[in-house]
C-alpha cells in the first residue's frame, strides 16, 4: 500500500475553486476520502491564514477529518490605495515535503501555484510520485508532476447542506497564481 503525504494550501484552493465554480467551496472530507482510495494517508497538512480566531471553527473541522492545520497571521501590505493581506506557505510546504519525502511513496499537493514546481521536481527525483489535486493548475505543475487532477464538482460542498465550516471566513489569498482562466469539468493529465 502506498504511503501518502497530503499538502494542501487552503487559501489557494479557496480562491481558485471560487473562481472556477462561482463561489463554491471544497469539501475537505470528500477530498481526503478521494485520496485515501490511492493508499494510506500517513500525513495530511492544511496550510492557511487567519486573523484573530476567525477560522477557528474551520480549523477544528479540518482536525476532525484528519488534517494537521498549520495557520499563521497574514502580512499586511499597502499597494497603491489598497491594503492587501497575504500569507504565503510555499516555503513551509516545500520544507515539510523535504522533511517527509523519505517516508512517502506518493505526494498529493493541493495547490495550483507554480512556485512549488521545484519541490515537485525534487521529490520526483527521489522516486516519489506527485499528484496535483487542485483547481486552475499552473502549467509548471502540470509539466512537472506525475499526474494532475482538476478538482471535480463531486469534491465540492453541497449547496443545500451548509456546515459550520461553510459559515467561517477562511482564507486570505496566498498567491497570485489563481488568476488564470479556469476550465470546466474534470481534467486528468499526466506529464509522462
pLDDT digits (tens, 9 = 90+) for 73-132: 888 878 788 887 777 899 999 999 999 999 999 999 999 999 999 999 999 999 999 999
Q: What is the mean pLDDT of residues 125-151?
A: 97
Answer whether residue 77 is part of any domain: yes
Residue 160 binned pLDDT confidence (cut-offs 50, 70, 90): low
pLDDT one-digit tens code per residue, 72-89: 888 887 878 888 777 789
Residue 183 has pLDDT above 90, yes or no: no
- Residue 11 has which C-alpha cell? 487559501
- Residue 43 CA to residue 26 CA, distance in Å, equals 19
Side-chain half-sphere exposure of 5, counting CA atoms within 13 A? 20
Q: Are 146 and 170 in contact (CB under 8 A)?
A: no
On whether the CB atoms of residues 17 and 133 are closer than 8 A, the answer is no
pTM of the model: 0.80
- Mean pLDDT over 150-168 rounds to 70
- Three-state SS sequence of 20-55: HCCCCCECHHHHHHHHHCCCEEEEEEEEEECCCCCC
Indicate whether 136 belongs to any domain. no
**Distances 124 to 32, 37, 95, 169 between C-alpha atoms, Å:** 22, 21, 15, 35
Residue 101: inside a domain, yes or no? yes
Eight-state DSSP code of residue 114 = G
CATH number at residue 90: 3.40.50.1010
Give me the number of domains the chain comprises. Answer: 1
Domain that holds residue 39: 8-131+147-190
Q: Considering the domain boundaries, does residue 142 fall inside one?
A: no
Share of the chain above pLDDT 70, in %: 82
Confidence band of 135 (pLDDT split at 50, 70, 90): very high
Find, among 191, 192, 36, 165, the residue nearest to 108 by Cα. Answer: 36
Check whether 48 has a pLDDT greater than 90: yes
Give yes or no for residue 162 having a pLDDT over 70: no
Amino acid at each position: 500500500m502506498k504511503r501518502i503525504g497530503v499538502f494542501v494550501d487552503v487559501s489557494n484552493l479557496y480562491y481558485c475553486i471560487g473562481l472556477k465554480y462561482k463561489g463554491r467551496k471544497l469539501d475537505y472530507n470528500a477530498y481526503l476520502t478521494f485520496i485515501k482510495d490511492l493508499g494510506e494517508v500517513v500525513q495530511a497538512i492544511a496550510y492557511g491564514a487567519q486573523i484573530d480566531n476567525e477560522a477557528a471553527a474551520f480549523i477544528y473541522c479540518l482536525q476532525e477529518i484528519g488534517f494537521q492545520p498549520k495557520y499563521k497571521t497574514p502580512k499586511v501590505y499597502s499597494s497603491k490605495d489598497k491594503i492587501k493581506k497575504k500569507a504565503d506557505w510555499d516555503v513551509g510546504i516545500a520544507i515539510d515535503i523535504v522533511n517527509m519525502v523519505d517516508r512517502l511513496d506518493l505526494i498529493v499537493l493541493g495547490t495550483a501555484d507554480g512556485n512549488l514546481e521545484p519541490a515537485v521536481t525534487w521529490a520526483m527525483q527521489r522516486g516519489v510520485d506527485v499528484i496535483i489535486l487542485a483547481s486552475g493548475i499552473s502549467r509548471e505543475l502540470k509539466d512537472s508532476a506525475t499526474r494532475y487532477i482538476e478538482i471535480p464538482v463531486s469534491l465540492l460542498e453541497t449547496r443545500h447542506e451548509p456546515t459550520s465550516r461553510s459559515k467561517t471566513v477562511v482564507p486570505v489569498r496566498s498567491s497570485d497564481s489563481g488568476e488564470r482562466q479556469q476550465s470546466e469539468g474534470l481534467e486528468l493529465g499526466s506529464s509522462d
